[in-house]
Structure 1
Amino acid sequence: MADFTDEDDALLAELGVEVEAKKASSRSPQEERIIAGFEDIQRFVDEHGRAPQHGEDRDIFERLYAVRLDRLRTLPECRSILAGFDRQGLLGDQFAALEADGEELGDDALLAALGVEAERPDITELKHVRSSVEKQAAEEVANRTRCEDFAKFKPLFEKVQRDLDEGVRHTRPFEMKAEIEPGRFFIVSGQKAYVAEMGEIEITAQGRTDARLRVIFDNGTESNMLMRSLQRSLNKDEAGRRITEPVAGPLFADQPEEGDEASGTIYVLRSKSDHPMVAQHRDLVHKIGVTNMGVKQRIAGARLQPTFLMADVEVVATYELFNINRTKLENLIHRIFEPARFDVEIRDRFGRPVVPREWFMVPLFVIDEAVNRIKDRTIVNYVYDPMSATLVERAQ
């Protein structure tokens, strides 16, 4: 084929004839995919003014881009390919180690996220990873529909607003998924949202809990969304808030009085782990925690979670809470039993060492006594003595 001169090229260009075919084929398909993946990250940076970040509260695409950027920074061949495209200096930062979200994807999925084909069936191609991501993202977007029985929820919203006006309730920043349960009120996208119902708890592929919710909004609409979807919406909304329960009522009680608002549950668990130290002291080793969700929901998927020693558990005692700060109460209980904290190191599902902090070598009857002393507020005078396995009065 004859070579074209510059004048020939100019004439062909005027005629609309493409003459860049040789340049288009100068890169391999793998290099093109790496560049395309990097351009996705650059568009994110252009739109948000920052690099993508890891974190459970981040959008699924941002988390994917963060993992992809980590890999691009650590792979010399990728840095070489992208050197001329890095107009934002994204590859010049100190190399970042992969975080947990990245590790959960696995090596093949990470390579696929980069557009790099592993030498195995086409399941690792980027298009399949994107399809999976799109499915998860689509799961987060639940269409709102008209709430046919809104008449029964409208008085609840009106009462909540009165409580806010009178200072009986307050709003505070949303913190964690555990706050989402039936009967709770939130503010998301400028609207009050009421969690009316929660379906069965399910375990995701990452070992996390999730459930389908029925969420009613104060504009008369409702949504059948996932718990994690509501969590993401609240985390992404800078004005997203949790509406607290009424602040009146007793510090602690077995049964609520009229007007009391349930706050949660103290739960005591025994582990079914076959770890030698656990098996040796099974009747004494207890996890003591406080939750604002159902205990069954809290322990779902226990065998996949380090905090439960990567094993199923048995519920041996529960105590209902009313109008009390759960976090402060849990800290109090843990301080009392600190001398008996059960120190054991286990491996999580990624093989990383973990030392759970909520397990104690304490007889169940002592835990029950501590709860009773919390009720009558005499607990401040006592500490736990592991030598005698009893609560003893503090030295004056």
Structure 2
Amino acid sequence: MPDLDLDELRAELDEFAQPQPKRSAYTPLEERIIAGFEDIVRFREEHGRAPQHGEDRDIFERLYAVRLDRLRAQLDSRALLADLDRFGLLDLADQQDQSEPEDLDSDALLAELEGIEATGDITKLRHVPSREERRAADEVANRERCADFDQFKPLFEQVERDLETGVRGTRPFVRDAGFLKADITTGQFFIIGGQIAYVAKLGEPIRAPNGQADARLRVIYSNATESDMLLRSLQRALYKDEAGRRITEPSAGPLFKSEANNDDTESGTIYVLRSNSTHPVVAEHREVLHKIGVTGGTVEARLAGVEKDATYLLAGVEVVSTYKLFNINRRRLEALIHKVFAPAQIDLTITDRFGNPVKPREWFLVPLVVIDEAVSRIRDGSITECRYDPMQGRLVMN
């Protein structure tokens, strides 16, 4: 056998060298960085662009935009994510359409970005679901366009108004809250993935592979999509979503109390007005067209300068009735009254002093005697069981 020097021997052996095994596992931190970036990639796939900053953007897009900024600034994370970055999202040179980062003092954004430290250290990222958690969330992501969304749109609009006025509230969806799968029923609303979800249909009970009861749901979302997920899948997704909430049923809340909260007042006045406007619609219905409102001050002070206010139809008004109430949450009371009489709200558009079209609210085609009855029912608490029927011209029980 001829002698080989060491260099020749190494060259011969190189051909038989085994490739180095690839790392098959990531650290928990790397798993969360990857999972967070997969959110951004999925957004790019769905929207055809990188997430952007801006107050007009969805809160989750704003979250992804901030997260992407942090990832771009970290060389270690860019190297970790290079194989996943098929859209070049981490390439700073290609980001031409990004607006300037928004003010991170925004209360809404800070609420969603809780856990991302201001230092910009990617190792401080928290609340990014792992791949295991994401598999449960993916069951929610398989949605399709809701063809009959127009049927459900008014429901979502009403829920949003109820949340704004305090008629409805939200509760965290957590395991220790005593909220069982059986409690998910038709007609309930939830917040999941940043969208309001409505359970439109609950199918026949079925038996899951583990022997537990389950059912197929039809769930409609406020972004005009729907899914036919299982009841257990909805429950699991709500558990995994840290921002997941159950929206409570409508309630006026405690209108009368022995003690006042910060947003209560010692007394309030319900006032009922008629307009002196010469607008044809107003003139035709003047005897039954009333503006119903609540004030904590004097009615006279509230009505100063109404002739210049489109809310009051740019005309003088007549105070036809007032009702004094004590220890009352004015905001909730007014929301309750408007909800009861919503079917009789007038659809009227007028032009304000600057030529802009305005749709006045709080004007209802309701006889004064019915308003008197409604105030009586407010005092005894039975108003929450009533609604106004315009066809019958009276309050009826729900």
Does the TM-score normalized on the shorter chain lie above 0.5? Answer: no
Quick check: which has more Rg, 1 or 2? 2
TM-score by length of 2: 0.34
TM-score by length of 1: 0.34
